[in-house]
Amino acid sequence: MTAPNKGNKALKMVRRRTGVSVWKAEDWIVWRLRLVLGKKVSRVAAQISWILKKTVEERSQEECLMLSESADLVKELEWRNQRCESLRRRQEEVFDEPETLRKKVWELASAVQSAKHLVVYTGAGISTAASIPDYRGPNGVWTLLHKGKSTCTSDLSDAEPTLTHMAIAQLHACKLVQHVVSQNCDGLHLRSGLSRAAISELHGNMYIEVCTSCSPNREYIRLFDVTERTGLHRHLTGRKCCHCAGDLRDTIVHFGERGILAQPLNWAAAVEAAEKADMILCLGSSLKVLKKYHCLWCMNKPRSRRPKLYIVNLQWTPKDDMAVLKIHGKCDDVLRLLIGELGLEIPAYNRSKDPIFSLAVPLQSGEEASHNRRAVRTAEEVDRSQNGAHQEEDVRGLEACQISAVPPSVGWFGKGCRKHTKRKK
């Protein structure tokens, strides 16, 4: 910037009124001009946007003249409108016609039978049938938070593995699926009977807390949601390790955080499985987060040597163009048809055989009051509750949670997304 002319009346006036130097006065004028011009452009842009909403026949001669005189601005606004429309369409849920769905599932079944090393990537969409909301669907957690609305979640201790969870466990038992990489924190893969070694829970498990003071880290599987007191960058649960008395922390990886735990994230097994895979099946995931994990997509390999990609999701994903097949359907519907095509049966979830009851570590003496979450109920407790004999115990167990009519929100929903949400003024 060259030194301004000291005889400039405007600069002298600004200097006299504000007491700033000539250099700062010039900067102030530039800022002021930009502000005024910006407001003027904004007003013109608002007028043009209103005109563009009309049909050509509805526009007056003056409005047509205004559009012709602001060709660059019209072009910019039209591009923005197209972009917004494209983003809106990506959020829409699309369903394949029944006949189309059956044909696509037949093609998927053929691929599953031919695959030598199939890895399944799962997202929140496989748990919606268990009354656990997804993130980016029409009523998803992040969708509501971005709109400034509150989220309401049911008590996850009542959730059970869905048909999709049980189907995946069956496919693994039949050696058709070699590994499962999950973004979900709900612990339903574990409860479906899937082997711990066969799961990589990249974003943690709500039932698991760990002691990082022990080497190797010591896991504590609980019957309740351990994230009640935790949040973004706050992971201590308030309980202690029974071996070293170190602080226990949850295993959740919130949006904006980096996972540092070996288990239950199991990144090593996930990367190894991806390297060996000749087929990847994505179920119920928007892939907007998973796409950033380049090691899961073998991007270092030539395109011809990368695993074939199959996607089951109702909405657009950033990997659609790379997929051999995209199926627009609910995960339960697709897996039901797939298991039928493969000549298998999906085992029903049996609460009495839920692995979490045998894996769970009881709390230490004095820690019973360290949480207010209801524990996962045994089959006997559910039966008594349904018969009405357990009603009184249910009320006592829910007293701490039912302070209001709104169910308690789990500690990991929406964390890391708050900074993007709309706030009421």
Residue 424: pLDDT over 60: no
pLDDT reported for residue 311: 98
pTM for this model (two decimals): 0.78
pLDDT reported for residue 149: 57
Please write the tens of the pLDDT for every residue from 366-418: 998 899 889 999 989 888 887 765 455 454 444 444 433 344 555 555 555 44
> Is 331 annotated among the ligand-binding residues?
no
Average pLDDT over residues 24-41: 59
Please write the tens of the pLDDT for every residue from 70-97: 888 788 888 888 888 888 888 889 999 9
Average pLDDT over residues 192-198: 96
> Is 295 annotated among the ligand-binding residues?
no
Average pLDDT over residues 213-222: 96
Whether 328 sits among the annotated catalytic residues: the reply is: no
221: β partners: 208
Residue 22: pLDDT over 70: no
Residue 39: pLDDT over 90: no
| Higher-scoring residue by pLDDT: 279, 88 | 279
Identify the top-confidence range among 28-32, 44-48, 317-321.
317-321
Which H or E run contains 178? Answer: none
Kindly report the average pLDDT of the chain as a whole number.
83
pLDDT reported for residue 395: 47
Average pLDDT over residues 357-372: 93
Q: Which of the following is catalytic: 203, 235, 254, 371?
A: 203
Band the pLDDT of 147: cuts 50, 70, 90: low
pLDDT reported for residue 129: 86
Please write the tens of the pLDDT for every residue from 225-271: 999 999 989 999 999 999 999 999 999 999 889 999 999 999 999 99
| Higher-scoring residue by pLDDT: 54, 221 | 221
Residue 288: pLDDT over 80: yes
- The CATH class that applies to domain 98-353 reads alpha beta
Sequence ranges of the domains in the chain: 12-90, 98-353
Residue 157: pLDDT over 90: no
Q: In sequence order, which residues have a C-beta less than 8 Å from that of residue 423 and are 6 or more positions away? A: 148
Burial 243-267 (b: 16+ CB within 10 A, else e): eeeebbbbbbbbbeeebebebbbbb
User: In the 8-state DSSP scheme, what is residue 3?
Assistant: P
| Higher-scoring residue by pLDDT: 56, 314 | 314
> Is 244 annotated among the ligand-binding residues?
yes
pLDDT reported for residue 388: 67
Question: Nearest 5°: CA angle at 395, between 394 and 401?
Answer: 100
pLDDT reported for residue 413: 55
Please write the tens of the pLDDT for every residue from 101-145: 999 999 999 999 999 999 999 999 999 888 776 555 555 554 555
> Is 185 annotated among the ligand-binding residues?
no
Burial 40-74 (b: 16+ CB within 10 A, else e): eeeeebeebeebeeeeeeeeeeebeebbeebeebb
